[in-house]
Structure formats: structure tokens, C-alpha cells
Amino acid sequence: MNILIIDNDAKSHHAATQAAQAAGHRATVVPDSGEALSSALHQPYDLALWHVPAANDAPGSSRNVLKEVEHTCPALRVVPYATCEDHTPVDEFMGALISLTEELGQNGHKPGESGTNGEQVVPGARISIKSLEQEHIRRIVENTQSLAEAAEVLGIDAATLYRKRKRYRIAQ
């Protein structure tokens, strides 16, 4: 898988690059949303991992560029585990890579078999943002002590998390 990593922190983007390569993926790292869009328009990527927040970006610009990048490949915002002391940038990126690898059928599913959400798994196929969000929320809920903590880590209101858990059938 060819992955675009948008991250301005040298330590975490180095860790993310190593994690991606260890999982057998190619990774290109860019420090801000401007370079992300330029890179996404000039080279095909299977996925963009966006480590939030990107301090080099002007307020609102990341959101707008993320929408543009999503036109070229699926994009996933990797939210820092700010309230979880035992998590590192490698955990964040590896969690995202593992769930994506499983979704693509490269880790336990054969082409044509149903994935975790009943959709057909086809290696190399584009992944829906909905399925990425579902998996990300599930992992955060599993790795936090409370729903309030999970909502804080995800950067959403607790009521929003409740609705998404209900929609995706995610238990606490």
C-alpha cells in the first residue's frame, strides 16, 4: 500500500514511516496540508494518514485540503491519544494501519470474502470513510476507560459518540 502521511512532528513522522515500512507499506511524509495536496495530485496514494493537529497549517486550511485529498484517495485523521499516557505516535499509526490492512483483506480475509462489516473485501480496493470511522471509534472505545474519555480523544461531543456507537453497533 502506498501511504501519504501528513505530520509536522519529526519524531512521530519518523515513527510512522518506520511502522508503515515494517508493515510492508511505502510511506511518503509531508509536513503540511499544502504539500499534502500537491503530493496527492501528482502521485497516486492508496491512503492518506493525517496526524492531527498540524501546527504548520492556518486555521481551517487542513479541513479544506483534507476534503481535496479525499477526492484522490481515502483519508484518515489520526487523532493523538492526548489523554492516554501509554500511547505513542507509533501506536496511533499502527492502529490505523492494522485496521486498514484488515479491511483490505491482507490480514485474515481472502479476496471476495466478507469483511467485518459485511462488505466484499478486495485487496487494493478503496475503503469507505464510514468503515474507517467505525473501526477507529471501536478501537478508541476499547482502549479508553470511559466514553467521556473516548469522546475527548476522538475530539467529538459525548452525545455524538453515543449516536455513532449506536449506528455502528459498538459496545462499550
Nearest to 45 by CA among 7, 77, 76, 73: 73
The pTM of the full predicted model, rounded to 2 decimals, is 0.45
Q: How confident is the model at residue 121 (pLDDT cuts 50, 70, 90)?
A: very low
**Unique residue bearing C-alpha cell 508503515:** 20
Q: Angle at the Cα of 93 (from 131 to 147), degrees rounded to 5?
A: 60
- Name the residue with higher pLDDT: 46 or 65: 46
Q: What is the pLDDT of residues 17-56, one digit of tens each?
A: 777 777 778 888 888 777 877 887 788 887 777 765 544 4
DSSP letter for each residue of 3-17: EEEE---HHHHHHHH
Structural domains of the chain, with CATH: 2-168 (3.40.50.2300)
